[in-house]
Structure 1
């Protein structure tokens, strides 16, 4: 039954009684609770933008998986993590079997010769892939309030937060297991991609507003902790 505050007129005593101080305080408290329970329009919009970005990547995963089967070749969903906003494309390899090179688990701390060899290996691999033009026409740009923080795959057990990183899909219907990390300045989120099933799982975590740590440090910690939990399964 709706609750309302009204003045009570006592016709028998011939005078009007007002609100007591306690009644006023209770009414103010109830109003404050209702206000706090409703998220601000800005926060709600940022969450929708984050959800939209995750949904777009989810659809890109399904698109790439279908392309691998239809084209009967290896396909990859490639992320350019150094660009702002992050760019991603779907690319297909040549017809027939494509043997992917053994990619190093660690790329930091390499000598100059090792870095040069790594760049040459990546360039040779990239020459085998061509962008799927149909995908370029349907994908959407990432909202400027949303950041893709990085990703990890089961094929290469390390966390990518810069340069290029790819999730590979195979004509058998299999794909790399992967996890992609996202954020706004209010939320951290991730998308888990199953390797053998057409299933994904998204998770959201609200960032604490009373923390004294920098936002980038908080996000880095969330990414590393979630990655360790994922890779440890």
Structure 2
């Protein structure tokens, strides 16, 4: 009996349960996994906030520049480039009138309509030059952050895949606009008030559960909802 008991004490049965060390190792591994996930989320938020901070600085600088130079200034977005870019550009003086038809045609328009719009856009682009005091070269976005869309309250349009601009005038007035940015984790909207320096930032978790859509499709769908609600709330 002693031998039998002694053997059992040296070689415990497999169903006696987990040892304390095994439990501690498992808890440590779980904490490491959750810590890495949390770190990734924090990195995305930190990177997103950095991009939005730069955009806010560009907007405030453009307002000051328009008043200082008595000229129309714009923030021009290259949403069709990879990586995406934007820059502050100065145009003609306050006597210059923007064309009334600078909005792109609907996607289902004829090829001729799209070609005509591109020609008009090229002519307008020649009227504007980069502001060297801010940053002569275009400001590039990180690869993991996208400007999903830029919405304009002046003509109720939302642009996501071509060049577009937000215009600022010497009087301090500017386009009522909303810039929607996205990462793998969330969307951030930056609303621009046309008459004040109020820039409102909102965060929205990105919902990817129960869908077979790609990340860009999910981002664009949710950006469209944000833009629609923004218009309904009154620009």
CA distance in 1, matches of 2:143, 2:216: 16
Equivalent runs, 1:33-44 vs 2, <5 Å: 40-44=38-42
1:141-191 CA distances to partner (integer Å, 9 max, x unpaired)? 422221111101122311101110000000001100100111111111111
Tell me what 1:110 maps to.
Answer: 109
Q: Is the 8 A contact 2:85 2:139 kept in 1?
A: no
Q: Is the 8 A contact 1:65 1:173 kept in 2?
A: yes
CA distance in 1, matches of 2:145, 2:118: 29
Tell me what 2:121 maps to.
Answer: 122
1:68 CA displacement: 0.5
CA distance in 2, matches of 1:38, 1:54: 24
Q: Is the 8 A contact 2:87 2:139 kept in 1?
A: no
Tell me what 2:204 maps to.
Answer: 205
CA distance in 1, matches of 2:141, 2:104: 28
Q: Is the 8 A contact 2:149 2:180 kept in 1?
A: yes
- How many residues end up aligned between the 2 structures? 206
Equivalent runs, 1:68-217 vs 2, <5 Å: 68-103=66-101, 104=103, 106-136=105-135, 141-208=140-207, 210-214=209-213, 215-217=215-217
Q: Is the 8 A contact 2:208 2:218 kept in 1?
A: no
* Consecutive aligned runs of 4 or more in structure 1 exceeding 3 Å deviation: 35-39, 104-107, 137-141, 208-213
Query: TM-score, normalized by length of structure 1?
Result: 0.79
Distance 1:141 1:70, change over 3 A: same
Matched residue of 2:92: which SS?
coil
Distance 1:122 1:137, change over 3 A: closer
CA distance in 2, matches of 1:198, 1:142: 24
Q: Is the 8 A contact 1:105 1:156 kept in 2?
A: no
1:169-221 CA distances to partner (integer Å, 9 max, x unpaired)? 00001100100111111111111111100011111112235433332332122
Matched residue of 1:69: which SS?
helix
1:55 CA displacement: 0.8
CA distance in 1, matches of 2:139, 2:118: 29
Matched residue of 2:133: which SS?
helix
1:231 CA displacement: 1.3
Query: TM-score, normalized by length of structure 2?
Result: 0.78
CA distance in 2, matches of 1:221, 1:131: 32
Q: Kindly report the root-mean-square deviation, in angstroms, between the aligned alpha carbons of the 2 structures.
A: 2.6
Tell me what 1:224 maps to.
Answer: 224
CA distance in 2, matches of 1:135, 1:107: 34
CA distance in 2, matches of 1:54, 1:82: 19
